[in-house]
Structure 1
Amino acid sequence: MGLDPASETDQAQAQTPETNPLDRERAHLTASRAALRAMRADVESLDIKDVTANWVNAEVLQNQIEDRIKALADLAHTPLFFGRLDYGHAPGTELAEGAEGEQFYIGRRHVHDADGDPMVIDWRAPVSQPFYQASKKNPLDVRLRRRFGYTGGELTAYEDEHLTDRTEAEQASKLLQSEIERPRVGPMRDIVATIQPEQDEIVRAGIGGTVCVQGAPGTGKTAVGLHRVAYLLYAHRDRLARSGTLVIGPNRSFLHYIEQVLPALGELNVAQATVDDLVAHVEVRGTDPATAARIKGDARMAEVLRRAVRSGVTMPTEAVVVVRGSRRWRVPAYEVEEMVQELLARDIRYGAAREALPRRIAHAVLVRMEEAGEAPDDRVQDSVARNAAVKAAVKAVWPPVDPAKLVLRLLGDAEFLAEHAEGVLTPEEQKEILWAKPARGVKSAKWSAADAVLIDEAQDLIARTHSLGHVVLDEAQDLSPMQYRAVGRRCTTGSATILGDLAQGTTPWATNSWEEALTHLGKPDATVEELTQGFRVPRQVIAYASRLLPAIAPGLAEATSIREAAGDFAVRAVAPDDLDASVVTACREALAKEGSIGLIAADSRLPALTEALTLAGLTPLAPGDETTPEARLTLVPATLAKGLEYDYVVLDEPTAIINAEPDQRTGLRRLYVSLTRAVSGLTVLHSAPLPEQLAAI
């Protein structure tokens, strides 16, 4: 039976210390922390000076030890365990092997005592899964599930669910609800204590396939993706240690916000990057108009680049003559042409084909040597392949290609572009992406973010991009087809977790369907899961924001919220001259409450609001700045709000947010994102009329 944490604590305190369950649990927590410190001390005391054969191995081993020491850190304000499972034979069920009568504490990492017996079980272990999945309908051999409540790292309450007691009705956990509704201050935290069954299924999905999660605001899709990385590293550590993992976010502010989640779960070596970081082959100093960026991001550009990369290949007009000692060996032009045609037909990467051609020519020479009675070996073939005449012939027929110089020519030479875009891009589209003033060189060019993606595509056409074992891509709905291809190249031999919400697509090239996006990513067989049960956004707020769904994403289901608290919610119309002062007042009201405050506004409104807040003594933080008890107000441009969350949001002038975008639908999507950043309360202030979908309260 689910019990009120306070009443359970009162009951516990009325008992003697010998039988007080809360005291016993606190004692286990103290003992577990001591065991964790002992585990860390054991690692710190390791002496490796006589273990390794050389300084390189010693350095590698020392780094591994240091990572292990960091992973064993005891975070004082983070619960070491958050639940307990008591296994027992449930009537009518098959007993799990070795489970009867056993008791396991579930926490963020494994802790064992001096004898090696477990004191805390890692939440990712198979024996821990029933903590998230067990129910009265399917208890999974669990007799009792206990949840713990903490205040500042101190265990203060517990709550029991007797899963095999059919006489009790299933009730919502008050501790679980309290944890979900706890105020957000600082960076994103893990949700390991509150993972729901549908989230747990995604987290524990096998590494062999790609999973795409369509998640409404507040459904925890980002947290699910990060916990999935942690789970895969637990279940497939050796494999992923070799191949690597990567989390890709939309911007640096977002990555800063989520960067502490994996370390809190003991995973320290997961790289984080933006798409721009992945394709940083040149310095980006320019921007494209929306139309040009959309065309450059179109998947058709891959074919234009493929043609351009191969455009330098020419057919030989002269024979290749190799001189070795007193003998001259001749490979006629028509035979070299056959080799070139065969390599072109195989459609392998340009660089690989260029490396194969001299060996093909050398093989032809070796055949002639054998016919003449010689017995050449592989060393002779290698020598012939490096012969000056062969190298000169290959350079003339299959010249090297620099990807940045190729894209530079493509965007600066109208004739070159027209030749390779014929039948792919219209003349009007070609004109849109051509630079008005061709750059003199790679370093002087004002490359845009879309140009960098084109260079990355060209680079991969020349030499294969290294593939990682697993990639997590968040806010995926905003990527262009060419950006999807760039991400897909990083996991061609691995798997991926794709996270996003079609309703929050705010770029001109935002995807219209996950089927289309996954095809561009190279993962058309990925499983698509939908999360619609919200845990972050209050009911009133998500219901208000969902009024926009028919206009911005008509095919998506409306999100619901399991939060019991309705949340503070207000929409206030003010006179234009009073807007700034009203915003300051609303921020003061929010600061009187506990938690973080985000003031979200159109980018153009930021200077005026910064001045008004500063004059009022409320100097705001910028997104990504560390919040403190004294500094909890962040001024957030609407263009950077995606993926962030605040306890209280003050939303300034919705119409300005809409009008800042190139079209109405994108503007409404940007507004939808901004409305759904609130965890506990939302105040909307407007002087201009609201969009019709939100006009009636």
Structure 2
Amino acid sequence: MSHGSVTPADTPPDTPADPEIRAERAHLAASREALRRMRDEVLATETALGDAVADKFTNEVLRRARRTRAEQLAALPDVPLFFGRLDFEPGTVFEDGAETGPDTDTGGDADRVHIGRRHVHDDQGRAMVLDWRAPVSVAFYRASPASPMGVRSRRRYGFDGGARLTAYEDEPVAEPAPAGVAGGLLAAEIERPRSGPMRDIVATIQPEQDDLVRAPLERTVCVQGAPGTGKTAVGLHRVAYLLYSERARLSRSGVVVIGPNRSFLSYIANVLPALGEVQVGQATVEELLGRVPVRGTDPPETARIKGDARMAEVIRRDLWSLPVEPAETLVVQRGARRWRLYPEELAGLLAELRQRGVSYGAGREMLAHRIAHEVLTRMEAAGEVCDDRTHTQVRRTREVKAAVAAMWPKADPVKLVWGLLGDAHRLARAAEGVLDADEQAAVAWGRRPRGVRSAPWSVADLALIDEAADLIERQSGLGHVVVDEAQDLSPMQCRAIGRRAGSGSCTVLGDVAQGTSPGAASDWTAVLGHLGKPEGVVAVLERGYRVPAQVIEFAARLLPVIAPGLGAPVAVRRAAGSLRVSAVGAEAFAASVAEACAEALDGEGSVGLIAADGDIAGLHAELAGAGFAVGVLGGDGAALGADRLVCVPASLAKGLEFDAVVVAEPARIAAAEPRGLHRLYVVLTRAVSVLHVVHAEPLPDPLR
């Protein structure tokens, strides 16, 4: 075989004429059966000690591990077990020192491996499918005429809507592909219509993406990615790779993926399970930091100030204003004797601990120990015999406890921020020289709410509470954190996430041109600094594989305004008819939107109608009244996959993709918020096949 694909079009699909397809289908069926046996063996494994043994805890741990492994081995009926094949030159030496040799299946002149989403072996332990993350699989993504990596030929497969193999395409690696011939199946897979949640890109990972996916665990990677460049997929596949290469470390410390909203997390939820990884946590920032219920919404300027890193100093000052020097002598009675510590001595102990940089909660406990130590020193000097029990008894006396409570009061992070924002004088003391008067007025509540639970907590307040909580008691960390749409994180939110990855690493994903929050970042160096990862590597993905060039070029007209200096993304494909802009009269607007949706539904895949949040309810009612089966995307993402046509509020569009997108009234999206043009850029880049813009009002100036 040479460049090009083979599809048995002249025979029934279940009886292909091509013997290669018959052989590959047989191997696929055998691999599925082997995977089923592997899973059955796991489920049949007995607990190590038997249920009759008294060690129930150990057995429960083993049972959970068995269930997890069984989940990892579960076959997904619509996902092919393998997507590619490598034929190596004889004598190729791999990283582990193994060398290829004769192989009877390939005429005795090459070694052959199938590359898939997980490892599958037969009853004798021989590999039938190699995991795409294995070192030998790197060649599938990176072998080229300049660096063939021992590969003679690379094969890709085509599948129907499910997992039935229908075509294959061979690429001799040593020969440059003729223009317009190679890559047909690869292009078809990239451009394949989508409906429902996001799927993995394991069959189409490009070399520049693979470099990022296989970055070592110790490295924090920040990916600036234009729309359609696959940055989210890169982040998720990096998680899958790290769990493969560093499973022992990450199984202890944990991994979490942080997304902008629950709708986005619902959209990406199936990617990692399809790759065999079922134990990765997912959370929004609100869920991650949620110590109190969010009841309020801050004005943009208030949200920006609360998210400013200077608020960390305000909170630190307020917390550390709580310890006070004592005014009275501490008297501890032991038997018939009294032991005294005078105010200046206690003040010295207090100052010493404050200078040591301990957490607030630990300092309080250490103060009790230091006081007890001073008392024991006096007791021993008087000839009394003391030991650890004596120290504990003194530390727990009513007098010492009362002194510690007066000198170093307990602190609760929620009550601390509640008191700070609700007391203008207290806020002014803590913010002196940090926030000016107008900024203090912007963040203050005006008057303290009656209770912490009834306070108008906002999402921005959660990061303030988290900051206080970490000052009081250091938080445990995670092994790896992936944060998507990171350009919208405030510095205070970055600090909160960074604390959770204090001893681990991060994958930071985003696009500064898509920043829509009041404190959106324009510089990734600053984001990495707030995350506590200043050494992080910033990589740029600018080749768009999914979004057609016409759509990208139309949306990129906004870039000189919203992200000056940021280069326009480069689309690798053009598609005739992928962009349409329709100016209509106001009286015909609703009918024109419905007509555009009907045209989009005539094609394949998912359709999203995106409009300003305030317009969605009306448009949905119009479409439902016209007989369309249409859902409305809510914060939980429940409508994704339920209907081909979904009405999407502009504020929830970030990170999503639809085959066809109808954008209704761009000017209203742009006018809905201070960073409305950034939001419009997001909306205009959600289409991977067709974008149809319908407007009655004039388009925003940069788009005209």
Task: State the match for 1:153 in structure 2.
Answer: 163
1:449 to 459, 482, 489: 459
Q: How far apart are the structure 2 equivalents of 1:486 and 1:427?
A: 26
Q: Which moved more, 1:169-178 or 1:25-34?
A: 169-178
Cα distance, 1:406 vs. partner? 1.3
Shift of 1:383: 2.6
1:157 CA displacement: 1.1
Match of 1:554 in 2: 564
Partners in 2 of 1:21 and 1:245 — Cα distance?
Answer: 41
Contact 1:647-1:680 within 8 A present in 2 as well: yes
| 16 and 207 in structure 1: CA distance in 2 versus 1, 3 angstrom threshold | closer
Q: How many residues are paired up? A: 688
Aligned equivalents of 1:305, 1:627: Cα separation in 2: 41
Q: Taking structure 1 as reference, are residues 54 and 239 closer, same or farther at Cα in structure 2, changes over 3 Å only? A: same
Identity %: 56
Equivalents in 2 of 1:362, 1:171: separation in Å?
Answer: 82
After superposition, give the CA deviation of every residue in 1:334-379 in whole Å (9 maximum; x if it has no partner). Answer: 2221121111112221111111111111222232233233442333
Q: Could you report, residue by residue, the CA deviation over 1:41-97 in whole angstroms, capped at 9, with x for unpaired residues?
A: 111111227346511222221111111111111111101011111222589x99983
Alignment match, 2:105: none
Query: 2: CA distance between counterparts of 1:239 and 1:329?
Result: 51
Output one character per residue of 1:422-471: Cα deviation in whole Å (capped at 9) or x when no partner. 10111111111121342011122121111222111111111112211100
| Structure 1 position 69 matched with structure 2 position 70 | yes
1-structure distance, mates of 2:640, 2:461? 36
Range that drifts further, 400-409 or 467-476: 400-409
> Corresponding residue for 2:638?
625
CA contact (8 A) 1:570 1:682 kept: yes
The verdict on how the C-alpha distance between 1:170 and 1:322 changes in structure 2, with shifts beyond 3 A counting, is: farther
Q: Structure 1 residues 438-447 or 254-263, which shifts more?
A: 438-447
Residue 567 of structure 1, CA deviation: 5.2
Query: 133, 138, 151: which one pairs with 1:124?
Result: 133
One-letter code of the match for 1:64? A
Which SS does the other structure have where 1:643 is aligned?
coil
Q: CA deviation at 1:3?
A: 3.0
- Aligned partner letter, 1:253: S
Partner Cα distance (1:486, 1:183) in 2: 38
The aligned counterpart of 2:88 is 87
8 Å Cα contact 2:4-2:181 kept in structure 1: no
**Corresponding residue SS for 1:621:** strand
Match of 1:641 among 653, 670, 690: 653
1:296 to 285, 290, 306: 306
**Which stretch of structure 1 is more off in the superposition, 78-87 or 371-380?**
371-380
- Judge conservation of contact 2:308–2:491 (CA < 8 Å) in 1: yes
The corresponding residue for 1:140 is: 149
Deviation at 1:268, TM superposition (A): 0.7
Distance in 2 between the 1:242 and 1:96 partners? 27
CA contact (8 A) 1:12 1:21 kept: no
Secondary structure at the aligned position of 2:631 is classed as coil
Post-superposition CA distance 1:507-549 (Å, at most 9, x none): 1110110011111111111000000011111111011111111
Letter in 2 for 1:411: L
2:194, 2:456 → 1: CA distance?
41
CA distance in 1, matches of 2:359, 2:10: 71
Q: CA deviation at 1:330?
A: 2.6
Matches within 5 A, 1:319-334: 319-334=329-344
Name the CA distance, whole Å, in 1 between partners of 2:180 and 2:534: 40
- CA pair 377-8 structure 1, distance change in 2 beyond 3 A: farther
- Check whether the contact 2:594–2:623 (CA below 8 A) recurs between aligned residues: yes
Structure 1: distance between partners of 2:232 and 2:220: 16
- 3-state SS of 1:685 partner: strand
Match of 2:106 in 1: none
Q: Does the Cα contact within 8 Å between 2:91 and 2:100 map onto a contact in 1? A: no
SS at match of 1:682: strand
Q: Which runs of 5+ in 1 are unaligned?
A: none
Which whole-Å deviations, capped at 9, do the CAs of 1:139-195 have from their partners, x for residues lacking one?
A: 111111111111121111111111234797896411110000000111000001111
Partner amino acid for 1:129? V
Superposition TM-score, scaled by structure 2 size: 0.94
Please tell me whether residue 691 in structure 1 is matched to residue 700 in structure 2: yes
Q: Distance in 2 between matches of 1:475 and 1:659?
A: 22
Do residues 517 (structure 1) and 516 (structure 2) align?
A: no
Query: Structure 2, unaligned stretches of length 5 or more?
Result: 102-110
Deviation at 1:135, TM superposition (A): 0.7
Aligned equivalent of 1:115: 124
- 1:596 paired with 2:596, answer no
Structure 2 equivalent of residue 208 of structure 1: 218
Instruction: List per-residue Cα deviations over 1:471-496 (Å, max 9, x = no partner).
Output: 00000001111111111111111100
Q: Distance in 1 between matches of 2:62 and 2:380?
A: 52
Counterpart in 2 of 1:27?
26
Normalised TM-score (structure 1): 0.95
Give 3-state SS (helix, strand or coil) of 1:519's partner: helix
2:669 is the counterpart of 1:651: no
Map of 1:463 onto structure 2:
473
The separation in 1 between residues aligned to 2:117 and 2:9, in whole angstroms, is 24
Q: Report the secondary structure of 2:581's partner residue.
A: strand
CA RMSD of aligned residues (A): 2.3
Between the aligned partners of 2:295 and 2:91, the Cα distance in structure 1 is: 65
User: Contact 2:257–2:481 (CA<8 Å) still a contact in 1?
Assistant: yes
Which residue number corresponds to residue 539 of structure 1? 549
Which SS does the other structure have where 2:399 is aligned?
A: helix
Paired residue secondary structure (1:129): helix
Instruction: Please give the alpha-carbon distance, in whole angstroms, between the structure 2 residues aligned to 1:498 and 1:369.
Output: 57
Separation of aligned partners in 1, 2:2 and 2:345: 82
CA 1:87 to 1:668, structure 2 compared with 1: closer, same or farther past 3 Å?
A: same
Assess, with a 3 A threshold, how the Cα gap between structure 1 residues 137 and 150 changes in structure 2: closer, same or farther.
same
Is 1:674 the counterpart of 2:683? The answer is yes
The AA in structure 1 aligned to 2:60 is E
